[in-house]
């Protein structure tokens, strides 16, 4: 089974400061990890993913995430926050054992509200 | 075209109605998904189609009936829904259903069951 934990319901950051949104995961095989962002009354937008290779992954809108296998974490980061970054952020995982149409789909964390204050 | 489109944007229906949600993508993706999202909750997977065949059905009640007429279209037929089925229904697609592929989401259909 696969699971994702986002320990913070809400993160508040001042504009221009660095931000971190936390995510930890649990899988039986190797993890495929994703970050999505959702603006109010909208669908989810893909930000970035980790499949293999370099632990630091760069994505859309200046976001990046660091994969840490020993801590089973995949925290989302941005060096300088913008007010427009305010949204709901979801971490998601799929297990490498989910081979094309297998039993496990994409599992999401509960989401973290990111609020950037001007 | 890198969009997933969904119609209608909003739907209000009674418990005895029959309605359908539609989803379309023209990215050549061979996997398509339906998710249900309640307010302030993460999306929950309902169905997965891979190469136009239903591959995952997450124990969804039979009042929800998916259909994949071709590789670009995905429908969700609704019948005899309950008020607790009110939610945002999201469609997504990916290159195929292998786990390393990111999914592209549509804007969703906001469903209200009276």
Low-confidence ranges of chain A (pLDDT < 70): 97-104
For residue A40, the distance in angstroms to the closest alpha carbon of chain B comes to: 10
Lowest-confidence pick of B54-58, B74-78, B109-113: B54-58
Q: Would you tell me which residues 8-67 of chain B have a C-beta closer than 8 angstroms to some C-beta of chain A?
A: 31, 33, 40-43, 45, 48, 50, 55-56, 58
Predicted confidence at residue A42, as pLDDT, reads 81
Contact B96 A100 (CB under 8 A): yes
Instruction: List the beta bridge partners of residue B81.
Output: none
Residue B87: closest CA among chain A residues belongs to which residue?
A41
**pLDDT band at residue B55 using 50, 70 and 90 as cut-offs:** confident
Structural contact between residues A67 and A59, judged by C-beta atoms closer than 8 angstroms: no
Instruction: List the beta bridge partners of residue B65.
Output: B77
Chain A residues close to B31, C-beta within 8 Å: 101
Predicted confidence at residue A72, as pLDDT, reads 96
Residue A47: closest CA among chain B residues belongs to which residue?
B102
- Ranges of beta strands (E only) in chain B are 4-7, 10-13, 18-25, 31-37, 44-50, 53-57, 64-70, 73-79, 87-94, 104-105, 109-113
Contact B33 A105 (CB under 8 A): yes
Distances from the Cα of A13 to the Cα of A36, A39, A118, B22, B71, angstroms: 19, 17, 9, 38, 43
Predicted confidence at residue B40, as pLDDT, reads 85
Calpha distance A60→A40 (Å, rounded): 19
Q: Would you tell me which residues 18-77 of chain A have a C-beta closer than 8 angstroms to some C-beta of chain B?
A: 32, 34, 36, 41-46, 49, 51
Nearest to A108 among B42, B88, B102 (CB): B42
Calpha distance B9→B20 (Å, rounded): 12
Which comes out higher in pLDDT, residue B55 or A96? B55
Q: Does A96 touch chain B (CB under 8 A)?
A: yes
Structural contact between residues B3 and A43, judged by C-beta atoms closer than 8 angstroms: no
Structural contact between residues A79 and A38, judged by C-beta atoms closer than 8 angstroms: no
For residue B88, give both structure tokens. Answer: 């945002």
């Amino acid at each position: 089974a696969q699971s994702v934990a986002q320990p913070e319901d809400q993160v508040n950051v001042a504009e221009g400061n660095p931000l971190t949104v936390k995510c930890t995961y649990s899988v039986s095989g190797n993890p495929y990890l994703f970050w999505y962002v959702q603006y109010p009354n909208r669908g989810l937008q893909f930000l970035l993913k980790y499949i293999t290779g370099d632990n630091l992954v760069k994505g859309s809108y200046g976001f990046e995430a660091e994969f840490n296998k020993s801590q089973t974490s995949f925290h989302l980061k941005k060096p300088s926050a913008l007010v427009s970054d305010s949204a709901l952020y979801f971490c998601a995982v799929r297990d490498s054992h989910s081979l094309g149409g297998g039993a496990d789909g994409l599992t999401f964390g509960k989401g973290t509200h990111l609020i950037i204050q001007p | 075209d890198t969009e997933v489109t969904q119609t209608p944007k909003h739907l209000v229906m009674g418990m005895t109605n029959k309605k359908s949600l539609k989803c379309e993508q023209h990215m050549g993706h061979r996997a398509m998904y339906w998710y249900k999202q309640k307010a302030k909750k993460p999306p929950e997977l309902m169905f997965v189609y891979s190469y136009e065949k239903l591959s995952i059905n997450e124990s969804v009640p039979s009042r929800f009936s998916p259909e994949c007429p071709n590789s670009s279209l995905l429908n969700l037929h609704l019948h005899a829904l309950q008020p607790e089925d009110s939610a945002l229904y999201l469609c997504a697609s990916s290159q195929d259903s292998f786990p390393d592929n990111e999914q592209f989401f549509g804007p969703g259909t906001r469903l209200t069951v009276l």
